[in-house]
Amino acid sequence: MNKWLRKSLFVVVSALTFGLVTPTQLMNNVNVEKPSDRDAFEASATERSLSSTTAFLEESEFDRDKFIENLIKQAENQSYQKFGTRIKPVIENEFREVILPNIEKAVDETAAQFPEENLKNLTITEQPGSGHSEKIFNIKNGETGKDILRFHVRRDNPPKAGYWFNFHYHTYHDDFQNHHELGAIYWAKNTPPKWMS
């Protein structure tokens, strides 16, 4: 076998078997008439590798529900990161019961507007706003870099009513002008700490 063909065969075997069978093992002189135990093992390893490759390709198909579920999980994690260690323990349960289902609904409704090939491009920003910033996270089109949804929490202090966290989101449909309410959580009469503290 010439050198070029042999190198090509090495590359193809390596790629197909994901390293389960090394090209060197296949290139060793094998007694065709009397297969050894090693030859049987190599053949079955190659078959297993090819079947696992097929399974991997089938699993890699886009799963809309899992994708949305993953977005929701990231949204929840970003929210807890924004709350920080001082606010999170106080509002976590109410956030999970009242606000998170509304975030899920907003994400589901938005995802329904996108065909699968565009939905795959949606990503969540990685850093919530700290201090007094309202930003929790944004969902953006990773391909264009443009925001689709912006999720915020604002501190409200109505007269004689204490402090409230007002959760809402903005959408690209109205150029992020309108507030779409997600709910509110009461804090206390005293001023809440800064976000991410």
User: What's the pTM?
Assistant: 0.68
145: left (phi over 0), alpha (psi -120 to 50) or beta: left
Q: What is the pLDDT along the chain (197 residues), one digit of tens a residue?
A: 555 545 555 555 554 454 444 444 444 444 444 445 444 444 444 444 444 444 443 445 778 889 999 999 999 999 999 999 999 999 999 999 999 999 999 999 999 998 888 888 999 987 899 999 999 999 999 899 999 999 999 999 999 999 999 999 999 999 999 999 999 999 999 999 999 99
Distance CA 194, CA 128 (A): 13
Q: Where are the domains of the chain?
A: 3-59, 64-188
Distance CA 4, CA 57 (A): 29
Strand partners, 99: none
